[in-house]
């Protein structure tokens, strides 16, 4: 298996399952309602904001993989669209799953040599660093989502 295929597999696993942590976004978000996704706990981000934030960077690099320019700014990465219904929440999740699968397919198609090339600009580092950074970033925020979900469910049981 090529290195890019292994990276794509790892990326898919954080989204859809099969990784060694046995935790992934799709399973953890499967039973989250739109009300839970938008519940604010103290100063923590909402589940919806974290989900949007994870996908913000996936979507930005996806465009680069599709031959477009990199257009992402940290200041916009938590600008989650208004979610006022289950349909709004599911629309966001469907975009997350579709972007993730397209992203993984395009990474699989990259030649391994591409991993040493700069992604968009030298200041961002190479493809390898960025692809692994997205996976690490997703795991980091998945952990937050899991903890926030537990807090929300515990508060519900009171």
pLDDT (tens digit, 9 = 90+) per residue, 4-15? 999 999 999 999
Task: Give the pLDDT of residue 13.
Answer: 97
Task: Give the pLDDT of residue 24.
Answer: 97
Cα→Cα distances 76→12, 13, 146, 157, Å = 25, 26, 23, 35
**Tally of domains within the chain:** 1
Which CATH number characterizes residue 80's domain? 1.20.120.450
Range(s) of the domain holding residue 135: 3-157
Task: Give the pLDDT of residue 2.
Answer: 96
Asked whether the predicted pLDDT for residue 156 surpasses 90, the reply is no
Task: Give the pLDDT of residue 75.
Answer: 92
Average pLDDT over residues 38-49: 97
Task: Give the pLDDT of residue 105.
Answer: 98
Token pair, residue 120, equals 């968009």
**Within 10 A of 143 (CB to CB), how many other CB atoms are there?**
14
Give pLDDT tens digits for 13-42: 999 999 888 899 999 999 999 999 999 999
What is the average pLDDT value for the chain, to the nearest integer?
96
Strand partners, 121: none
Structure confidence at residue 158 as a pLDDT band (50, 70, 90):
low
Find the largest Cα–Cα distance for the chain: 55
Cα distance between residue 2 and residue 145, in whole Å = 32
Task: Give the pLDDT of residue 21.
Answer: 86
Q: How many CA atoms, within 13 angstroms, populate the side-chain half-sphere of residue 125? A: 9
Give pLDDT tens digits for 112-121: 999 999 998 8
Chain-centroid distance of CA 70 in Å reads 17
Task: Give the pLDDT of residue 81.
Answer: 95
């Amino acid at each position: 298996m090529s290195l890019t295929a292994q990276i794509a597999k790892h990326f898919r696993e954080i989204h859809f399952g099969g990784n060694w942590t046995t935790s992934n976004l799709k399973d953890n978000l499967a039973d989250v309602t739109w009300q839970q996704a938008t519940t604010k706990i103290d100063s923590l981000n909402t589940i919806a904001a974290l989900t949007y934030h994870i996908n913000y960077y996936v979507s930005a690099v996806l465009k680069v993989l599709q031959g477009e320019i990199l257009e992402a700014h940290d200041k916009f990465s938590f600008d989650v669209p208004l979610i006022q219904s289950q349909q709004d929440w599911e629309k966001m999740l469907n975009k997350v799953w579709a972007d993730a699968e397209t992203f993984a397919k395009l990474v699989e198609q990259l030649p391994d040599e591409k991993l040493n090339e700069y992604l968009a600009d030298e200041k961002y580092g190479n493809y390898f660093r960025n692809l692994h950074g997205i996976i690490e970033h997703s795991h980091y925020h998945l952990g937050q989502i899991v903890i926030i979900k537990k807090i929300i469910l515990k508060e519900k049981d009171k």
